[in-house]
């Protein structure tokens, strides 16, 4: 399908907009992938906030020129799918997870923060936990010393409590016994 000049300009401007807002770009070759697998991949990408597009490589190169993703322009050859994401790891995670189950999807390259990533770099980026998990781990680390201190203080309090004899419970005096006890100090004197 051939695009006219205005359609090409629209595609370039759309991809330029994606490149300006995205933190990560992942390139993957999709040669031989079935339509059902591609639909599943696009659906998963949409759910993760990843913009997945099949673009003409010349238009993609034009769109990323002057952006942080220009460093992977020489990798833009062959049938590629482009994954842009605002989240630093979402695009890498979506493509890498799909590549694990589908051998037709081959990761070619990626870029994050102006640095090019090879296949292993994209896979390592995909293995980084999500922001929510990292925040939970950080909270756990911050709470750990506090909870350890509370456990130690609790153990010390329990240990001190064992050393001193517990006061004996005082029962309500029976009227006859109370009268005898009151008379006994007078007799002793």
* Domain CATH code at residue 41: 3.30.70.1730
Please indicate, yes or no, if residue 170 is contained in any of the structural domains. no
Its domain, for residue 45, covers 5-128
DSSP string, 109-151: EEEETTEEE-HHHHHHHHTSPPHHHHHHHHHHHHHHHHHHHHH
pLDDT value of position 170: 52
Mean pLDDT per 10-residue run, the chain (189 residues)?
A: 81 88 91 91 91 89 88 89 90 91 90 89 87 85 83 84 56 52 51
Q: In a 3-state reduction of DSSP, which class is residue 81?
A: strand
Please indicate, yes or no, if residue 43 is contained in any of the structural domains. yes
pLDDT value of position 185: 52
Please indicate, yes or no, if residue 158 is contained in any of the structural domains. no
What total number of domains does the chain contain?
1
Please indicate, yes or no, if residue 101 is contained in any of the structural domains. yes
Cβ pair 101, 34 in contact under 8 A = no
pLDDT value of position 168: 57
**34 DSSP assignment:** -
pLDDT value of position 114: 85
Please indicate, yes or no, if residue 182 is contained in any of the structural domains. no
pLDDT value of position 189: 47
pLDDT value of position 84: 92
pLDDT value of position 174: 53
């Amino acid at each position: 399908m051939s695009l006219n000049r205005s359609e090409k300009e629209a595609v370039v401007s759309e991809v330029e907009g994606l490149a300006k807002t995205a933190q990560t770009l992942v390139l993957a070759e999709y040669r031989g992938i079935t339509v059902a697998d591609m639909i599943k991949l696009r659906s998963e990408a949409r759910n993760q906030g990843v913009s997945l597009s099949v673009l003409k490589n010349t238009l993609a190169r034009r769109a990323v020129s002057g952006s942080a993703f220009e460093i992977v322009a020489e990798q833009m050859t062959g049938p590629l799918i482009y994954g842009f994401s605002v989240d630093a790891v979402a695009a890498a995670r979506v493509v890498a997870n799909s590549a694990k189950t589908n051998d037709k999807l081959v990761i070619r390259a990626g870029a994050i923060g102006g640095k090019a990533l090879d296949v292993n770099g994209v896979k390592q980026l995909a293995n980084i936990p999500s922001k929510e998990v990292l925040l939970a781990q950080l909270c756990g680390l911050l709470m750990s010393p506090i909870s350890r201190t509370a456990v130690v203080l609790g153990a010390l309090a329990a240990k001190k409590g064992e050393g001193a004899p517990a006061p004996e419970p005082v029962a309500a005096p029976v009227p006859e016994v109370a009268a005898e006890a009151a008379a006994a100090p007078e007799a002793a004197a």
